[in-house]
Structure 1
């Protein structure tokens, strides 16, 4: 049910981002998506508690199909969230009769992958609502401005996670046993990626022309990240691992 609900959230946001959608319709759609996220967050907490008393976690993988528009910018945000929550992601692109399609293949412990999907959906809702509230400035090309806005939003999220990790390390080193467990988990996730994509290549950074980066970064600094409520700046490139042509 969780996967179906998150897929519904992404589809609601895709409708809200359609140029043919009025502002009132977009606000209603994003409000519905926010309502679903809030409900799923409660359901997920119940599932996590039950899982803690159940079987041990294993490395799993999940394919997330992204909804247009701004596919590559959304893929980058998901890449940031996955890397920040102990997972890895591979971007898959294909062109068909309906144009470009992008999906992300996530690898990680099952509970971590669940967390990545939930936070990503939550951030998409927050970004959509912030974009509606802000609007595109006069003189800016809407699609280009929103693309650069989303890149700035993802940059702030990445920096906030990095700052949270730095503060955690400064507070005290992990116990030896914990460090070994985390290292083993990283190796297991890396092995799963290598087995699935032995010819993986790194995507190239993109140059964006819109002027929304700073506004998106400010919104990303205010976004709710759950346990990682910190602030920072920075501007990483839009990149990430992707499969070679023919793998998706």
Structure 2
């Protein structure tokens, strides 16, 4: 005899003490590596029967989140995909995991912090243990299979100074008024003024960067392009990006575009795209109501054509507002920055393709969308990469 005490092991217990890691491992083997409902039910049943495994289950979820960051994902990306693929309960679970993981994560910059602050509320634990475990395993299945994404810069090269912060505040206020007004002419004037301020801010940033000892470098961010009519929305985002010295690459399967540019321009693109979507939706709803009153019922093709025309006309008008702030002596500085943006994009995406806009077949929708774009002071190069 070697003096060691023999252990009786049965159903994940050692001397009557539950092995929580064993419970979680068996649940994962049953549910995460098997896509069947039977495997999911088996895993959820194991977890529901062992409350002591809850802490280990949560820790493993935080590990999945940390792995997602290593693969290039960011908090907003994960939330966007979970909302698209699963239910709102899973979104709340994901938000709770991301918050918990952030407590033991390193600082990752201002944009990342903003995404954490924008996370939805966590779950309300009212479901029975089996239903809760099922939702957790469904979420983990998704997190386990996240593909690698192109890594983004986490920190802007320079922080905003007081003058820049005031300028951004003015731009946000103008766009908020444009979204809220019921008068197309007023929205047109406010949006055009906002683009002029964005262009002036971009020029100021370019001059500061050119004079700095360590020149600024372009970064990148992801902006969600949500269904429905996501192709037309991607064209709109591409137009806004082009008008603001950025480049956009659309990832259709994952529902976002990666925008490459300098920090001030990236912020301008995010703000303006969001505002124009709101304005386009308001205009489309109003135009569609008028069409329905006239007896038309083809709402899907009308909306697709409306948004396509809106996007198609947006870029030139935005570009005209931006060009009004550019003088001849600024052209070399802007050309240098354009070369830097193109280089960064080609390093991130060595292979891109172009796509044609589909489903644009409603002439009335196209005409109404173009009119709305004219009122919003906006047109575009409908080029997707």
Normalising by the smaller structure, the TM-score range is 0.5 to 0.7
Alignment map for 1:105-120 (pairs within 5 Å):
105-120=258-273
Separation in structure 1 between the aligned mates of residue 322 and residue 223 of structure 2, nearest angstrom = 26
Which residue of the partner structure matches residue 75 of structure 1? 234
The one of 138, 150, 153 aligned to 2:310: 153
Contact 2:225 2:234 in 1 (8 A): yes
Contact 1:6 1:121 in 2 (8 A): no
SS at match of 1:203: coil
The one of 192, 197, 209 aligned to 2:361: 209
Relative to structure 1, is the Cα distance of residues 192 and 6 closer, same or farther in structure 2, using a 3 angstrom cutoff?
A: farther
SS at match of 1:201: coil
Q: Give CA-to-partner distance per residue, 1:79-138, whole Å, 9 cap, x none.
A: 0100011000001121xxxxxx42100000011010000000000111111122222523
Relative to structure 1, is the Cα distance of residues 3 and 135 closer, same or farther in structure 2, using a 3 angstrom cutoff?
A: farther
Q: What number of residue pairs does the alignment pair up?
A: 191
Separation in structure 2 between the aligned mates of residue 7 and residue 217 of structure 1, nearest angstrom = 35
Q: CA RMSD in A?
A: 3.9
Which residue of the partner structure matches residue 92 of structure 1? 251
Alignment map for 1:127-166 (pairs within 5 Å):
127-136=280-289, 137=291, 138-164=295-321
What is the TM-score with the length of structure 1 in the denominator?
A: 0.64
Q: Give CA-to-partner distance per residue, 1:133-158, whole Å, 9 cap, x none.
A: 22252334111100100111112212
Contact 1:59 1:108 in 2 (8 A): yes
**Which region of structure 1 is more displaced relative to structure 2, 198-207 or 158-167?**
158-167
Which residue of the partner structure matches residue 191 of structure 1? 343
What is the TM-score with the length of structure 2 in the denominator?
A: 0.43
The one of 233, 240, 246 aligned to 2:384: 240
Q: CA deviation at 1:65?
A: 1.9
Which residue of the partner structure matches residue 9 of structure 2? none
Q: Give CA-to-partner distance per residue, 1:31-52, whole Å, 9 cap, x none.
A: xxx99x639x99xx9xx8xx97
Which residue of the partner structure matches residue 21 of structure 1? none
- Between Structure 1 and Structure 2, which shows a larger proportion of strand residues? 1
Relative to structure 1, is the Cα distance of residues 158 and 3 closer, same or farther in structure 2, using a 3 angstrom cutoff?
A: farther
Larger Rg: 2
| Unmatched 5+ stretches in structure 1 | 9-33, 95-100, 224-229, 242-248
Q: Give CA-to-partner distance per residue, 1:198-247, whole Å, 9 cap, x none.
A: 11222234351123011111111111xxxxxx67xx8x774311xxxxxx
Contact 1:60 1:109 in 2 (8 A): yes
Separation in structure 2 between the aligned mates of residue 118 and residue 6 of structure 1, nearest angstrom = 15
Separation in structure 1 between the aligned mates of residue 336 and residue 261 of structure 2, nearest angstrom = 12
SS at match of 1:209: coil
